[in-house]
Structure 1
């Protein structure tokens, strides 16, 4: 996913995201817990099961799923067994979980078919986990939603390997960043096609969301000895396992043990399927980029005569022994201005440049038909005009056909992507059982054709969006206004989407929020008393802010901005919709009373202070900044301090009740005020609080249902309370954790449907849950 630095907030609270996906400026919000054991014999759950526990902190009683006492003060665990790491959405706990539909939305970096089992296909993403294609249901199944907050870094999949001998076996090289603050990578091992995993911690980092992430595959299985695996790393050379990934040792004889000149290190590893003693390794280096071993990796030599001045993206051996390689001048996927396609013939040692075209772009995606070894397909990379192209050759690269103009494309599966070929087309795969079945990945999902070979005889190929079930968006905010649209999202890269009715959650929106169509929308708010009035802010459009008066169906850009050189940030809208307060990135808050036509600086608050509107009193706003709660009673014109010594955290205001405030204070817990922030009480029922949202009250109660991302009685997850936080029910389970949802901090209940909750993720889209 194109994941630049951005700021985000939800429920009128502040947080800062970096390109790493880490939260800055918020205290520790996660109590450490064991997601899976640090050696290869344990599965991906704590104890092989998952359970949901509701505890009354006031009485010390454990409650059942319906909130009834099970014993007088006795601690009883209500256990509901589920299969670990199962990608099911129903029957795995008190809630059913689904994605709101975008379809795609992020960078699909790899597509890998199993050569032995028909229809077995995997996709990897840069920060949204791995997927398996369900042939019968015709959609992708997420395999890594069980990854929790502590191990969020494992949601980036740097490489995928499916066993050519035993198709049940699957391996994922997991690790999103190689920065100092990121944890080490892990090798995830499955014996049931990804339904459950065991983990081997690796002594190095992987970089699935870094430059060069479209290269590969870096993880491969010896086709003659499927217990042996090789893994090429970005900064630590080549590694080998001889026990199906349980233990690893560096291949000391391999000459490159660092990141090479590019800092990206190894870009691909390829076994010769006919002679597994022969191995090729590509390195992201412009001088020496291809090495070969003919003795199973004991010794290595640079392949003579290889091209220089560019770096390999992919290397694939055909059935007749030729090695095809795609090259770029930089590692990509951005900034590529040159490239080529080469063919190496080991029998003669000859090299041949077989590039289908030349220009200010490179070549990346590469596939060779396992059934027809002279059929080769490649994609361009960063050919911005005309659009990127797919080339196909049936004579080993001697002649090529461009497919874009000889294809018909259907984007109805994800209308927002349009009918162009796409960008960042680094993943390309030909079905080993059907030469016409071809898929390729883009920065926004997957395209699929069942007749890609029609062009061989002068016909037309047909392509459809093939990403159903794959959801890889980064959600920065979400609102659920009462009586209007069910939910509207703000997202990185795609701006956001509107879901008009409850039934539309399972349908793909016609398009993104537009007029203006922001690349990234960092925040959105609505007027509680006039929920059809909304505002949103972001960047990447002619206007970085907009308002709507019809519930988000249409928008109009602000006529001006507070600071001309700034954008993004956070926005608040008064309860009656008359006042907008916008804190642009790194700036002081400004207010507008004329729908963004003019702005005046807010008094009493410093740069970066985020403002929250009271959800009942139209003249009242709040801001939690530097541990002090500030309030305004003059429509946001000026602020004064009301309370100090508060934790840094996320401030939220309860709909419909003036002065009712909550602070999700990280490891300082959950705080509540009923007097507009003059006094706060810390709830004893919550150990840590990352984010809090509100939804329709439970029938028979008068107060909003609370939805918490945090820790209750040593369990970290998503919780619901129907008694102002006295007791909590955990509503997610070990199979549904979605990485760093606490750091993302996007959670809101549905004001019209009791029990429904929406949760934003960083790479797995907008999730929503309903009681089972």
Structure 2
């Protein structure tokens, strides 16, 4: 192999890189007298991991990319993941969506990440390629003139980034939406389009919306080591595969690819993933009709295929697994080969929603396959059948992976997964595999025991029915520790207990921040949206979330500090789904006020823990509701620039005379513990009222806190002194610097408590202090979980 270590600039057409500090900078707005230690409240995963990449040269060097939560590096000693993109700040929050990752096979310390969360206008910035020379500890940024979609459909395909093993200064990038194939020849610092590449792709699976209408574009790049050829997969069912024999100078379609990667029933498919078996001279390609990760097969049946190309002869062979216990194969996600055992490969279904995903394994280059589980039918072919598995799933440390369910015949509560696009056998160890799902990473170091097990199911000719053959299952366990990917929506710090509302997972109750805690399952929130507690009796906790079905109400209630929960009555006329709105409970816990999120139903109150609801008098639909933390008679609301107050516990409201508050943009306000009528309000939008205001008379009058040009979340913790004002924390912008700020003197002075190495992208949803631990701050992030900081000893 040739190694190039220095390259000239690409000139005016290239996009220049910008430096990113990799260590903490001085704290803005005055130096904080306290240094902070930052940790995650442990959930373990909680989001989609679409890519896991092992370095081909250095053992134990592994990276996991997430769709909204950044990039991680494996730490073999502790068996945990280290976050690498916590330095990403508010203005470039889209960099936390990682489209692809590439680790250099020649100089393993070099690392690249293609970033950008949305290709539509949800993300205001263009994408970028991040480059590092120290395993991701520090980074440079090469901005791109187009957007990338780390959280868009198709994010599990690829990898779209690839380092050339023939010249490791050369890095390729596949892009969506007609932007083609791009290349850097100076280790990722400058990029330009490969103008000779002929096909930018044309496949749009669903053109009906601004989220599903991406042209998936150029999907992956991989290298034939023996022939020194570059292969590129393209989202074009009629012309899906290209090859270059001159290091990317010229390109030709691979003969027979369209027919080999297509489908006999005429459904269009695209080459989602590929892998080389270099020893046997094979290229394997997994296809699908849908870019994923949500959908499996079209109504017509099987949704994808696996094809094998002989690099020596150009012959294509269909090696699609023919058997699925449920009858048809919905489609395929992840594909991987065993570098230590030529001819061995694995592929995962996507999405075999019921009863479970299937991992297929072949040791003869795809000629035959074994499944990770199978049905066992009795003599009467009774439904549902039993099931037998090659491995046991051990969710230790992540008990919530059962999602509150129990095994139901072949549908186990703890599944092999779903949305499995990340599937990787360690190139240095045939026994190790990891795969990512929509919630976690699973792994084992006993994979080759599969091959000694033989068949899972046989036939009892005497009894006349199937039997499970005796095998000794190995164990697959959680391998996601340290990777925290929840999108936290709200925080209630009760003192010794923290309750969080989270997107997709509902919420968690934690009495030990070092353990995953208990998932809130009643009500069965698909996404938790808000939590509150009674200021004078924190045993009473309420929350609201999106629900499905017709059983659970949107509001949940706990009277024992979150240990157990009850659902409330479903309000007539409000369906499930995203209608959670906001909820508040009076300081004595006697009245719950709920403002539904459907935009048409006025807020309601309950005096019987949500068994019945009565319309509130005086509030518009959609008003944000909060309760006073010290006065049980006072409840507050805000809508479209108007502040409302109730003096009878939330049964009726009247508009206050307050003026000058934000009339548009997202707004939040919170009541101060132990201080009657003390309120802090944040929010608004640029070019209008935007910042922070405070009131000490129950919202009748407000004074702007001039320190902040922008502020988006505010919360309170233990006072510095015994009789002092509660510590105020905010996610805000002061002096041109975004950060997490703290005041211990009622807002007269502020210090930034985080630094440039700890920014976590967007932090505008919620922030809270702790009532028992001075200085502790909890920060809701959009994909990096619940961050908390303590003053260093």
Q: 1:379 aligns with which of 341, 348, 351?
A: 348
Q: Does 1:491 align with 2:499?
A: no
**1:659 match:** 677
Q: 1:565 to 1:507 in 2, by over 3 A?
A: closer
Judge conservation of contact 2:21–2:757 (CA < 8 Å) in 1: no
Structure 1 CA distance for aligned equivalents of residues 93 and 202 of structure 2: 24
Judge conservation of contact 2:295–2:350 (CA < 8 Å) in 1: no
Deviation at residue 770 of structure 1 after TM alignment:
0.3
- Consecutive unaligned residues in structure 2, runs of 5 or more: 1-14, 206-214, 263-267, 298-302, 374-388, 403-413, 454-471
Judge conservation of contact 2:636–2:645 (CA < 8 Å) in 1: yes
Q: 1:351 aligns with which of 292, 316, 320?
A: 316
Q: Helix, strand or coil: the match of 1:608?
A: coil
Judge conservation of contact 2:35–2:753 (CA < 8 Å) in 1: yes
For structure 1, which segment, 727-736 or 757-766, has the greater mean C-alpha deviation from structure 2 after superposition?
Answer: 727-736
Structure 2 CA distance for aligned equivalents of residues 341 and 768 of structure 1: 45
Q: 1:271 aligns with which of 223, 230, 237?
A: 223
Q: Does 1:446 align with 2:450?
A: no
**2:615 match:** 601
Q: Does 1:696 align with 2:731?
A: no
Q: Does 1:711 align with 2:654?
A: no
Q: Does 1:341 align with 2:284?
A: no
Judge conservation of contact 2:65–2:101 (CA < 8 Å) in 1: yes
**2:390 match:** 406
Structure 1 CA distance for aligned equivalents of residues 195 and 568 of structure 2: 60
**2:494 match:** 481
**1:630 match:** 644
Structure 2 CA distance for aligned equivalents of residues 656 and 261 of structure 1: 56
**1:532 match:** 539
Deviation at residue 712 of structure 1 after TM alignment:
2.6
Q: Deviations over 1:426-456 (max 9, x none)?
A: 1011111111111111111101110111111
Structure 2 CA distance for aligned equivalents of residues 597 and 486 of structure 1: 26
Deviation at residue 288 of structure 1 after TM alignment:
2.4
Judge conservation of contact 1:54–1:727 (CA < 8 Å) in 2: no
Judge conservation of contact 2:32–2:753 (CA < 8 Å) in 1: no
Judge conservation of contact 1:569–1:583 (CA < 8 Å) in 2: yes
Q: Helix, strand or coil: the match of 1:151?
A: helix
Q: Does 1:746 align with 2:766?
A: yes
Q: Helix, strand or coil: the match of 1:496?
A: strand
Q: Helix, strand or coil: the match of 1:505?
A: coil
**1:42 match:** 19
**1:432 match:** 427
Matches within 5 A, 1:241-260: 241-257=184-200, 259-260=202-203
For structure 1, which segment, 249-258 or 464-473, has the greater mean C-alpha deviation from structure 2 after superposition?
Answer: 249-258
Judge conservation of contact 1:514–1:554 (CA < 8 Å) in 2: no
Q: Deviations over 1:513-552 (max 9, x none)?
A: 1222322111111111111111111123531222111111
Q: Deviations over 1:160-195 (max 9, x none)?
A: 000000011000001111013521111101000000
**2:480 match:** 467
**1:365 match:** 334
Judge conservation of contact 2:604–2:616 (CA < 8 Å) in 1: yes
Q: Does 1:583 align with 2:526?
A: no
Q: 1:627 to 1:174 in 2, by over 3 A?
A: same
Structure 2 CA distance for aligned equivalents of residues 332 and 265 of structure 1: 14
Structure 2 CA distance for aligned equivalents of residues 212 and 65 of structure 1: 44
Deviation at residue 398 of structure 1 after TM alignment:
1.0
Structure 2 CA distance for aligned equivalents of residues 377 and 583 of structure 1: 49
Q: 1:556 aligns with which of 528, 544, 566?
A: 566
Q: Helix, strand or coil: the match of 2:481?
A: coil
**1:720 match:** 742
**2:464 match:** none
Judge conservation of contact 2:397–2:515 (CA < 8 Å) in 1: no
Question: TM-score, normalised on structure 2?
Answer: 0.85
Structure 2 CA distance for aligned equivalents of residues 461 and 668 of structure 1: 57
Q: 1:323 aligns with which of 283, 287, 291?
A: 283
For structure 1, which segment, 150-159 or 636-645, has the greater mean C-alpha deviation from structure 2 after superposition?
Answer: 636-645
RMSD over equivalenced CA pairs, Å? 1.7
Q: 1:700 to 1:550 in 2, by over 3 A?
A: closer
Q: 1:618 aligns with which of 632, 637, 645?
A: 632
Structure 2 CA distance for aligned equivalents of residues 495 and 764 of structure 1: 16
Q: 1:696 to 1:160 in 2, by over 3 A?
A: same
Deviation at residue 676 of structure 1 after TM alignment:
1.1
Judge conservation of contact 2:274–2:283 (CA < 8 Å) in 1: yes
Structure 1 CA distance for aligned equivalents of residues 706 and 192 of structure 2: 48
**1:293 match:** 244
Structure 2 CA distance for aligned equivalents of residues 383 and 109 of structure 1: 17
Structure 1 CA distance for aligned equivalents of residues 622 and 354 of structure 2: 39
Structure 1 CA distance for aligned equivalents of residues 742 and 513 of structure 2: 21
Q: Helix, strand or coil: the match of 1:533?
A: strand
Q: Helix, strand or coil: the match of 2:305?
A: strand
Q: Helix, strand or coil: the match of 1:271?
A: strand
For structure 1, which segment, 485-494 or 187-196, has the greater mean C-alpha deviation from structure 2 after superposition?
Answer: 485-494
Judge conservation of contact 1:326–1:339 (CA < 8 Å) in 2: yes
Q: Helix, strand or coil: the match of 2:25?
A: coil
For structure 1, which segment, 369-378 or 285-294, has the greater mean C-alpha deviation from structure 2 after superposition?
Answer: 285-294
Q: Does 1:202 align with 2:144?
A: yes
**2:170 match:** 228
Q: Does 1:127 align with 2:104?
A: no
Structure 1 CA distance for aligned equivalents of residues 723 and 606 of structure 2: 37
Deviation at residue 258 of structure 1 after TM alignment:
5.2
Judge conservation of contact 1:453–1:461 (CA < 8 Å) in 2: no
Structure 2 CA distance for aligned equivalents of residues 715 and 310 of structure 1: 47
Deviation at residue 350 of structure 1 after TM alignment:
1.6
Question: TM-score, normalised on structure 1?
Answer: 0.87
Structure 2 CA distance for aligned equivalents of residues 178 and 559 of structure 1: 40
Structure 1 CA distance for aligned equivalents of residues 566 and 170 of structure 2: 59
Judge conservation of contact 1:695–1:756 (CA < 8 Å) in 2: yes
Structure 1 CA distance for aligned equivalents of residues 660 and 64 of structure 2: 48
Q: Deviations over 1:497-517 (max 9, x none)?
A: 1112xxx101222x4112223
Q: Helix, strand or coil: the match of 1:506?
A: coil
**1:673 match:** 695
Q: Deviations over 1:377-434 (max 9, x none)?
A: 1111111123101111111011111124111221103111133201111101111111
How many pairs are equivalent? 690
Structure 1 CA distance for aligned equivalents of residues 38 and 477 of structure 2: 27
Deviation at residue 280 of structure 1 after TM alignment:
1.5
Q: Deviations over 1:81-107 (max 9, x none)?
A: xxxxxxxxxxxx711000000001111
Q: Helix, strand or coil: the match of 1:382?
A: coil
Q: Helix, strand or coil: the match of 1:531?
A: strand
For structure 1, which segment, 285-294 or 732-741, has the greater mean C-alpha deviation from structure 2 after superposition?
Answer: 285-294
Judge conservation of contact 1:413–1:466 (CA < 8 Å) in 2: no
Judge conservation of contact 1:413–1:464 (CA < 8 Å) in 2: no
**1:392 match:** 361
Deviation at residue 53 of structure 1 after TM alignment:
4.3
Deviation at residue 562 of structure 1 after TM alignment:
5.3
Deviation at residue 220 of structure 1 after TM alignment:
0.3
Q: 2:520 aligns with which of 513, 521, 539?
A: 513
Q: Helix, strand or coil: the match of 1:452?
A: coil
**1:312 match:** 271
Judge conservation of contact 2:201–2:235 (CA < 8 Å) in 1: no
Judge conservation of contact 1:284–1:331 (CA < 8 Å) in 2: no
Q: Does 1:117 align with 2:117?
A: no
Judge conservation of contact 1:365–1:428 (CA < 8 Å) in 2: yes
Deviation at residue 681 of structure 1 after TM alignment:
1.4
Structure 2 CA distance for aligned equivalents of residues 200 and 582 of structure 1: 47
Structure 1 CA distance for aligned equivalents of residues 202 and 632 of structure 2: 57
Q: 1:700 to 1:574 in 2, by over 3 A?
A: closer
Matches within 5 A, 1:132-171: 132-171=73-112
Q: 1:750 to 1:641 in 2, by over 3 A?
A: same
